[in-house]
């Protein structure tokens, strides 16, 4: 998961299909723990070894991201919150509430911002659909977010590939990418946990 480079190299040109499937599933099929970021970075880093161009990888990533988010939106529109349960391992109501709060705070911009945050990029389209956010507006924000994320991250990977230190320490760099991506969620989790604990202590004091 932290270093998909060898897997992509073993697939060669078929790596495009692997990137497309992973990004589509992560974006639209409610499976948030896939390495979309690291796949795009790896694709950019290794594109010459894979026999692929940056444009091909970026385009495939963009199309898969747009299509995945559309599926996520439709799932939310049709099923709403019925897929989520308090005791679920992945589709928990707590995650959904956090995502809904994020979406309500930022509106359509949340679709763009969530692209760069693992887990949120899976649930925000669902929240948008469940909230009946206007479909045309969603289409626009979805395209903008997918363009900035898929193209930007792929180009970043290609630029990093020219740095010898990074090329020689790919696993560490990709781990850092994932850690930095997840860090805001971890901070927010502990902040909310501390807030709840403080509120519980206040209630007991009363």
Please state, in angstroms and as integers, the Cα–Cα distance from residue 198 to each residue in 38, 97, 187, following that order: 37, 20, 16
Cα–Cα distance for residue pair 13/69, rounded to 1 Å: 25
Task: Count how many domains the chain has.
Answer: 1
Residue 197: CB atoms within 10 Å = 10
d(CA 176, CA 163): 16
Two structure tokens written together for 102: 């994020």
Helices (H) and strands (E) in the chain, counts: 11, 0
Write down the pLDDT at residue 178.
62
CA distance 47 to 53: 6
What are the CB-based long-range contacts (under 8 Å, 24+) for 160-167?
160/41, 160/44, 160/45, 161/44, 161/45, 161/46, 161/47, 166/45, 167/45
Task: pLDDT tens for the chain, 206 residues: list them.
Answer: 455 666 777 777 788 888 899 899 888 877 766 677 778 887 888 788 788 889 999 999 999 999 999 999 998 888 877 767 666 665 667 777 777 777 777 777 888 888 887 777 888 888 888 878 889 989 999 999 999 999 998 888 888 776 776 666 666 666 676 666 666 666 766 776 777 777 666 655 55
Quote the CA–CA distance of 4 and 37 in Å, as a whole number: 11
Strands (E), the chain: none
Q: Is the dihedral of CA 34, 65, 8, 166 positive or negative?
A: negative
Which domain, by its residues, includes 19? 5-205
Radius of gyration of the chain, Cα coordinates, nearest whole angstrom: 18
pTM over 0.85: no
């Amino acid at each position: 998961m932290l270093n998909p480079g060898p897997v992509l190299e073993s697939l060669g040109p078929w790596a495009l299909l692997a990137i497309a499937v992973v990004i589509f599933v992560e974006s639209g099929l409610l499976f948030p723990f896939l390495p979309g970021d690291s796949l795009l970075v790896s694709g950019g880093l290794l594109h010459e070894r894979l026999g692929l161009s940056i444009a091909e990888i970026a385009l495939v990533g963009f199309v898969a991201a747009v299509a995945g988010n559309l599926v996520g939106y439709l799932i939310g529109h049709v099923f709403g919150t019925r897929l989520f349960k308090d005791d679920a391992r992945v589709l928990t109501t707590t995650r959904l509430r956090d995502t809904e709060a994020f979406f309500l705070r930022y509106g359509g911009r949340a679709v763009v911002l969530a692209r760069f945050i693992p887990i949120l990029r899976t649930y925000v389209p669902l929240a948008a659909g469940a909230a009946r956010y206007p479909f045309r507006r969603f289409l626009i924000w979805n395209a903008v977010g997918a363009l900035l994320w898929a193209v930007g991250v792929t180009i970043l990977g290609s630029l990093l590939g020219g740095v010898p230190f990074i090329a020689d320490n790919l696993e560490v760099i990709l781990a850092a990418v994932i850690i930095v991506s997840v860090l805001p969620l971890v901070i927010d989790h502990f902040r909310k946990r501390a807030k709840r604990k403080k509120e519980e202590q206040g209630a007991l004091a009363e």
